[in-house]
């Protein structure tokens, strides 16, 4: 139970989303272009995080199917921002798997001319605590 | 020095059960100014009141302290007792030793100690009390109703039937409002025009009602009972005294391409027009934005065909000032703009319409003469999707409204049911988040749409609408089935949220009436004074106060009228004497008080003062209008120089109470 609460807290903190704002209209799932690819759908993500039922979510492929197109964020009438929950869940999994493999010291060796700076920034955001 | 009498009430065991009333009376007898102290079982009874009156005479009392229940309960009672004994009623103070003492404490010593402290505070205050006399002001026996929809019409009719003259100011050329645009009304399905137009005619013909159509309120001065209102009668270029409403001009006008706002732009009208056949007053108006004569000076067809000679191209806006005793705001609502909801393709397809547009499409007097035809190609739609809560119940985003618009569930059920009734070959889908049907016969009505008329109600929201050829692809959630669905629709109807009319905010400023963050007028008390504004003499009718349907609007309109009648029936208004007043010698004219006054009761005057050196100086000082002041005390806190004070609750009196408690 403590573990469950921990995961919920971490997702809420990373995403800044308050799932209690959801009024369960389903507009996020109505608008999602990847709906058919998913086992759990955007409105279910929100509800599962709200109830702390996060384990099945993490064990499912569903949240890797999210294209981060932000249609749900744009159209949600309650400003819940479901895509941010999805992103937070992805980050949590990556971090739990210990894939903090990007260390600042290693960066110079990895640099090449064609690499956009933005990639480094997002890589650090994803892989480093 | 006052001669104070203290009267401690037992209230049976209510007080005496936890407070040693005898000890309270004995202790308070030693307070400064107290010359008489007694206790009694029921002070509010006739015997108790007689005891007070006798004590006033016998001991020549000048002030009274009653230790009893809350002043809400019996302050008025004891003030009357004091008046009957020849005292000024404002020389009475109540120490609340029941609700704030005996009822919240269980132990006698604690209750008794607190009762004594509360009594001491009241004695300290009475020592500084001064007799107060309420001011009087006369009442102008005429009411103003701003807005001529069903709310304004009903309010005006009810006031006029009670015998008081009423003026309706309506910004459009006719009264009738939104209800005139509706087809049928839920849940009885009677025709809106059939029940509204007789009321419009009644208002138009009532000898006590004047209608200022095509007019706006531009200025409001004065206060309750004595408002001075400036009304702008916009130039309609047609003389109201001559026009017979024959309509010939509206047929002959060569400018045919003016969007017809009565049909929400779905057809056109002429530049000279009468909004609809049953308009009241039935007088034409020229739309100056489109009239060729007014713009270029070349045309004049309407003047040529008018047999009454009513056309006057030189007409100017006219301003008139009228006095009123009471003002009713009845400014109504509008559906919100769909501009920010791109996902529903409202701006991309003519076949995505709002519910109000749907009303016109099904109305016999509408652009399609009542046949349900698609705006794009005039074909009969076979699949119709209704989307509820469009822009209602939104939060955080800059689009939409946070509140439930209240009427959409019912009118959507009505639209769906009527469509299935008239065109059984049509598939009708309604996407809902919740179906809210609290109201008499409301849920039965909705269930009939589902069970008898076969309307498909689907729990879920529409995500997007994509025009595809002559179809509209509707992508939506079916939450109960757990699937995303697509429907090829011919027509999509959006239940757009409603918002207060744009004229409400500037009007509230003129009235100094308060509004909430959504621009709905605020009521004086949400439960107990629902049709009064906190500003005295201003009343609220209809949707300007919050979303509501027709039956509720009519009830509220009647309630507002009864409050107006209650005010106008008085010859004089007795003010509350506990109002603010400014010490002119201390006032530095800084305007702090004026800025915080919620009632607009404070103005400034330039007054001449003799200075110590015998010169004369003009100083700007605050002046409180005692008829408008509600005694809230905001100004006394805001005043940096301590010039503002509240009669009956002066800072010195409050400090004396605090001192007595802290001693």
Label residue B303 by pLDDT band (50, 70, 90).
very high
pLDDT tens for B172-215 read: 999 999 999 999 999 999 999 999 999 999 999 999 999 999 99
Task: Tell whether B307 is covered by a domain.
Answer: yes
User: Does residue B307 share a domain with residue B398?
Assistant: no
Count of alpha carbons within 13 angstroms of residue B375, beta-carbon side: 23
CA B147 to CA B327: how far, in whole Å? 11
Percent of chain B predicted with pLDDT > 90: 91
- Are A67 and A108 contained in the same domain? no
Residue B187's nearest CA partner among B497, B551, B430, B435 is B551
For the cut 60, the answer to whether the pLDDT of residue A1 exceeds it is no
CA pair distance B24, B16, nearest whole angstrom: 10
* Band of pLDDT at residue A2, cut at 50, 70 and 90: low
Q: Chain B within 8 Å of A84 (Cβ-Cβ)?
A: no
**DSSP 3-state of B514:** coil
Q: Which pair of structure tokens corresponds to residue A90?
A: 């992805």
- Residue B630: per-residue pLDDT: 84
Q: Which residues contact B131 (CB under 8 A, 6 or more apart)?
A: B88, B90, B91
| CATH number for the domain harbouring residue B75 | 3.40.50.960
DSSP string, B1-14: ---EEEEEE-TTHH
Residue B253, C-beta contacts closer than 8 angstroms, at least 6 positions apart? B270, B271, B272, B301, B302
Question: Is residue B516 helix, strand or coil?
Answer: coil
| Pair (B325, B344) in one structural domain | no
How many Å separate Cα A31 from the centre of its chain?
18
Structural domains in chain A (count): 2
pLDDT over 70 percentage in chain B: 100
Containing domain of residue A113, as a range? 101-129
Mean pLDDT of chain B: 95
A108 in the same domain as A54: no
Q: Are residues A85 and A40 in the same domain?
A: yes
Domains: count for chain B: 4
Q: Which residues of A touch B343 (CB under 8 A)?
A: 31, 74-75
A77-93: per-residue pLDDT in tens?
A: 999 999 999 989 888 88
Please, are residues B487 and B458 in contact by the beta-carbon 8 Å criterion? Answer: no
Statement to judge: residues A58 and A91 lie in one domain: yes
Residues B483 and B508 grouped into a single domain: no
What per-residue confidence (pLDDT) applies to A129? 47
B381-403: pLDDT as tens digits: 999 999 999 999 999 767 899 99
Q: Looking at the structure, do residues B381 and B528 belong to the same domain, yes or no?
A: no
In a domain, B659, yes or no: no
Is the pLDDT score of B320 beyond 80? yes
Mean pLDDT in residue range B607-619: 89
Q: How far is B542 from chain A (nearest CA, A)?
A: 27
For the beta carbon of residue B617, count every other beta carbon within 10 angstroms: 10
The residues near A120 (Cβ < 8 Å, ≥ 6 apart) are A107
Averaged pLDDT for residues B135-155: 96
Q: Considering B568, B598, B614, which residue would you say is the last residue of a domain?
A: B568
Q: What is the pLDDT at residue B128? A: 95
d(CA B261, CA B633): 48
Pair (B339, B486) in one structural domain: yes
Here the CATH number for the domain that contains residue B287 is: 3.50.50.60
Last residue of a domain, one of B80, B99, B126: B126
Report cis status (omega within 30 of 0) of the bond before B187: yes
In a domain, B654, yes or no: no
In this structure, the answer to whether residues A87 and A122 fall within a common structural domain is no
Please check whether residues B316 and B398 belong to one and the same domain.
no
Query: Is there a contact between A77 and B395 if contact means CB atoms under 8 Å apart?
Result: yes
In this predicted structure, the answer to whether residue B593 has a pLDDT above a threshold of 60 is: yes
**With 80 as the cut, is the pLDDT of residue B558 above it?**
yes
Do B326 and B355 share a structural domain?
Answer: no
> Residue written as tokens 């493999």?
A101
Interface test with A, best of B345, B388, B396, B482 (most A CBs within 10 A): B396
A33 touching chain B per CB within 8 A: no
What residues in B contact A37, CB-CB < 8 Å? none
**Inter-chain CB proximity B460 and A24 less than 8 Å:** no
Please check whether residues B115 and B235 belong to one and the same domain: no
Q: Which residues of A touch B336 (CB under 8 A)?
A: none
Residue A19 sits in a domain whose CATH number is 1.10.1060.10
Interface test with B, best of A18, A21, A31, A71 (most B CBs within 10 A): A31
Identify whether the C-beta of residue B621 lies closer than 8 Å to the C-beta of residue B587.
yes
Closest residue of chain A to B486, computed from CA coordinates = A30
pLDDT digits (tens, 9 = 90+) for B16-51: 999 999 999 999 999 999 999 999 999 999 999 999
Shared-domain flag, residues B178 and B326? yes
**Is the pLDDT confidence value at A128 over 60?**
no
How far is the C-alpha of B359 from the C-alpha of B184, rounded, in Å? 8
| A29 interfaces chain B, CB cutoff of 8 Å | yes
Q: Are residues A57 and A105 in the same domain?
A: no
Please judge whether B395 and A79 are an interchain contact, meaning their C-beta atoms are less than 8 angstroms apart.
yes
What stretch of H or E contains B653?
helix B651-662
Choose from A17, A25, A73 for mutation: most chain B CBs within 10 A. A25
CB atoms within 10 A of CB B60: 11
Strand blocks (E) in B502-601: 538-540, 572-574, 580-582
Please tell me whether residues B338 and B295 are part of one structural domain. Answer: no
Nearest to B395 among A30, A75, A78 (CB): A78
**Which of B388, B432, B461, B462 has the most A C-beta neighbours within 10 Å, making it the best mutation to test the interface with A?**
B461
Please determine, for residue B279, whether its predicted confidence score (pLDDT) is greater than 70: yes
Question: Looking at the structure, do residues A85 and A55 belong to the same domain, yes or no?
Answer: yes
| Residue after which a domain boundary falls, among B458, B474, B499 | B499
- CA distance to partner chain A, nearest, from residue B602 (Å): 42
Nearest to B179 by CA among B363, B327, B336: B363
Identify the band that residue A3 occupies on the pLDDT scale cut at 50, 70 and 90: low
The verdict on A67 and A113 lying in the same domain is: no
Contact between B477 and A23 using a beta-carbon 8 Å cutoff: no
Range of the domain at B226: 143-332+503-568
Tell me, what DSSP letter sits at residue B450?
H
The mean per-residue pLDDT over the stretch B539-568 comes to 97
Signed CA dihedral, B28, B29, B30, B34: sign only: positive
Considering the domain architecture, whether residues B249 and B105 belong to the same structural domain is answered as no
Q: Residues B516-531: what's their mean pLDDT?
A: 93
- Looking at the domain assignment, is residue B482 inside a domain? yes
Residues B385 and B426 in one domain: yes
A122 to chain B nearest CA, in Å? 27
- Closest listed residue to residue B462, CA positions, set B480, B474, B473: B474
| Predicted complex ipTM exceeds 0.85 | no
Mean pLDDT of A15-26: 94
DSSP percent split of chain A into helix, strand, coil, nearest 5: 65, 0, 35
pLDDT digits (tens, 9 = 90+) for B466-504: 999 999 999 999 999 999 999 999 999 999 999 999 999
């Amino acid at each position: 139970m403590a573990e469950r609460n921990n995961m919920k807290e971490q997702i809420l903190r990373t995403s800044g989303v308050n799932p209690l704002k959801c009024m369960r209209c389903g507009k996020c799932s109505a608008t999602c272009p990847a709906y058919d690819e998913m086992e759990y759908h955007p409105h279910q993500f929100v509800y599962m995080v709200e109830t702390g039922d996060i384990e099945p979510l993490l064990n499912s492929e569903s949240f890797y199917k999210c294209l981060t197109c932000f249609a749900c964020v744009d159209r949600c009438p309650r400003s819940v921002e479901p895509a941010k929950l999805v992103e937070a869940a992805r980050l949590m999994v990556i971090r739990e798997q210990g894939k903090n493999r990007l260390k600042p010291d290693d960066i110079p060796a990895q640099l090449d001319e064609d690499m956009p700076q933005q990639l480094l920034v997002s890589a650090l955001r994803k892989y480093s605590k | 020095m006052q001669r104070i009498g203290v009267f401690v009430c037992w209230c049976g065991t209510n007080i005496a059960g936890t407070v040693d009333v005898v000890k309270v009376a004995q202790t308070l007898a030693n307070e400064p100014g107290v010359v008489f102290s007694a206790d009694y079982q029921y002070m509010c009874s006739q015997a108790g009141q007689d005891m007070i009156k006798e004590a006033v005479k016998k001991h020549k009392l000048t002030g009274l302290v009653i230790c009893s229940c809350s002043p809400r309960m019996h302050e008025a009672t004891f003030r009357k007792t004091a008046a009957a004994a020849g005292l000024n009623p404002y020389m009475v103070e109540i120490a609340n030793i029941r609700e704030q003492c005996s009822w919240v404490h269980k132990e006698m010593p604690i209750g008794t100690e607190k009762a004594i402290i509360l009594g001491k505070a009241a004695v300290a205050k009475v020592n500084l009390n001064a007799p107060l006399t309420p001011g009087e002001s006369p009442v102008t026996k005429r009411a103003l109703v701003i807005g001529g929809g069903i709310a304004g019409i009903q309010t005006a009719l009810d006031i006029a039937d009670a015998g008081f003259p009423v003026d309706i100011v309506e910004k459009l050329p006719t009264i009738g409002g939104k209800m005139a645009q509706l087809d049928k009304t839920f849940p009885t399905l009677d025709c809106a025009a059939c029940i509204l137009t007789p009321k419009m005619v009644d208002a138009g013909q009532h000898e006590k009602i004047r209608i200022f159509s095509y007019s706006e309120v531009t200025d409001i001065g004065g206060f309750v009972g004595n408002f001075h209102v400036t009304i702008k009668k916009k130039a309609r270029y047609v003389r109201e005294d001559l026009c017979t409403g024959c309509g010939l001009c509206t047929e002959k006008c060569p400018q045919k391409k003016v969007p017809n706002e009565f049909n929400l732009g779905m057809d056109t009208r002429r530049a000279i027009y009468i909004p609809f056949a049953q308009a009241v007053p039935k007088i034409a108006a020229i739309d100056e934005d489109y009239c060729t004569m007014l713009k270029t000076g070349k045309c004049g067809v309407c003047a040529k065909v008018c047999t009454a000679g009513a056309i006057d191209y030189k007409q100017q806006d006219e301003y008139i000032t009228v006095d009123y005793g009471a003002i009713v705001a009845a400014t109504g609502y509008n559906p919100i703009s769909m501009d920010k909801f791109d996902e529903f393709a409202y701006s991309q397809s003519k076949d995505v319409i709002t519910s109000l547009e749907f009303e016109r499409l099904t109305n016999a007097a509408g652009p399609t003469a009542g046949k349900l035809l698609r705006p794009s190609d005039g074909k009969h739609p076979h699949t119709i999707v209704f989307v509820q809560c469009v822009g209602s119940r939104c939060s955080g985003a800059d689009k939409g409204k946070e509140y439930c618009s209240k009427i959409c569930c019912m009118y959507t059920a009505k639209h769906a049911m009527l469509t299935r009734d008239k065109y059984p070959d049509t598939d009708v889908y309604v996407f809902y988040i919740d179906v809210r049907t609290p109201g008499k016969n409301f849920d039965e009505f909705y269930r009939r749409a589902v069970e008898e008329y076969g309307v498909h109600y689907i729990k879920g929201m529409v995500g997007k609408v994509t025009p595809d050829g002559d179809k509209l692809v509707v992508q939506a959630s079916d939450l109960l089935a757990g699937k995303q669905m697509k429907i090829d629709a011919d027509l999509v109807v959006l239940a757009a949220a409603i918002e207060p009319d744009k004229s409400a905010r500037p009007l509230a400023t003129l009235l100094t009436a308060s509004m909430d963050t959504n621009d709905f007028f605020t009521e004086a008390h949400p439960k107990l004074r629902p049709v009064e504004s906190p500003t005295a003499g201003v009343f609220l009718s209809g949707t300007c106060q919050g979303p509501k349907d027709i039956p509720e609007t009519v009830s509220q309109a009647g309630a507002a009228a009864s409050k107006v009648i209650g005010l106008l029936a008085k010859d004089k208004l007795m003010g509350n004497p506990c109002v603010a007043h400014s010490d002119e010698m201390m006032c530095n004219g800084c305007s702090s008080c004026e800025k915080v006054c919620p009632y607009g009761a404070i103005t400034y005057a330039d007054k001449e003062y003799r200075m110590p050196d015998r010169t004369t100086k003009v100083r700007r000082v605050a002046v409180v209008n005692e008829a408008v002041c509600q005694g809230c005390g905001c100004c006394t806190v805001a005043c940096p120089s301590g010039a503002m004070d509240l009669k009956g609750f002066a800072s010195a009196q409050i400090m004396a109470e605090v001192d007595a408690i802290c001693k």
